[in-house]
Amino acid sequence: MPTDKKESHYELVFGDVIELLPKYNEKFNLIVADPPFGLEFDKSSHEYGSDDYVLYEDKFSDKEYEDFSYNWISACYDALAKDGALYVISGWTRISEILDAVKRTKFHLINHIIWFFGWGVFARKRYVTSHYHILFLVKDKNNYCFVPQFSNPNTKRKGEKYEEDVWYWPEYNRGNDPDRVKAHPCQLPLVLLEKIVKISSKPGDWVGDVFSGSGGTILACRRLGRNVIGFEKNKEYEAVIKQKAKFGEVIVPKSENEAKKTTLTSFLNN
């Protein structure tokens, strides 16, 4: 647990998030969710087949996946404050089940963001998959946090901040990620997690990551002065999460000005 009072609260809770979330009624201002893909991992790949990686149980039929999605998305709805937001990150193969599940809840879909990345698995007879879907959902469409970070000096709206719904960090790849740890098969970049946290929460807010994986959201929140609780079903990731999110080390949150720097250069130099 943090000792310096300037640090934010950070915590890791193990178990099934559908069972755990009911204890956190209206607690969170922001929830980040990168759910299991619901497809079996290809263990013949040189990366996931290697002994360095611990793979999690990830096999669902279409119907099971939609019901699972509905259950955890509904649990997130109840765990969010009235002005709260949920970000759901998903590959294209399960996005239809997730969208169908969202329609069954009371969430409002504000944006459907595409994250374009440059390390898709090479393919000869089809297009290389090089994007993810990110759904930005809110409980109340008239009352939610949105703090744009981007201003383009080359447009008429000089100096005015706004955000676009296609994200791309050309300098980023998994090989140069200073925070990536071996052992977890699917890790989101800190630059992406920090963007979500900065836009959809304020310093001191409570953030939840309902599928912590390697713990990137915990680290992003600690760096940005948000209180954070990460949930994870698989106890085998405990050491990975604690290493990546620097449990036990003091992290004094960035100042507002430092936090505004969104370039990857500043990200890589941290």
Ligand X SMILES: C[S@@+](CC[C@H](N)C(=O)[O-])C[C@H]1O[C@@H](n2cnc3c(N)ncnc32)[C@H](O)[C@@H]1O
Binding positions for ligand X, rule: CB under 6 A = 16-18, 34, 36, 56, 184, 186-188, 211, 213-214, 216, 231-234, 237
Query: What's the min distance (Å) between Cβ of 53 and ligand X?
Result: 11
Query: What's the min distance (Å) between Cβ of 232 and ligand X?
Result: 5
Cβ proximity to ligand X: between 77 and 237 the closer is 237
* Partner residues linked to 54 by β-bridges: none
In angstroms, the CA 210 to CA 207 distance is 10
Phi and psi angles of residue 138, each rounded to the nearest 5 degrees, phi first: -130, 160
Cβ proximity to ligand X: between 16 and 258 the closer is 16
Query: What's the min distance (Å) between Cβ of 71 and ligand X?
Result: 9
- Asked if 75 contacts 21 with a C-beta cutoff of 8 angstroms, the reply is yes
In angstroms, the CA 226 to CA 201 distance is 8
- Name the 3-class secondary structure at 170: coil
Query: What's the min distance (Å) between Cβ of 14 and ligand X?
Result: 8
* Partner residues linked to 115 by β-bridges: 132, 167
Residue nearest to ligand X (CB): 213
In angstroms, the CA 178 to CA 124 distance is 31
Cβ proximity to ligand X: between 140 and 238 the closer is 238
Cβ proximity to ligand X: between 68 and 206 the closer is 68
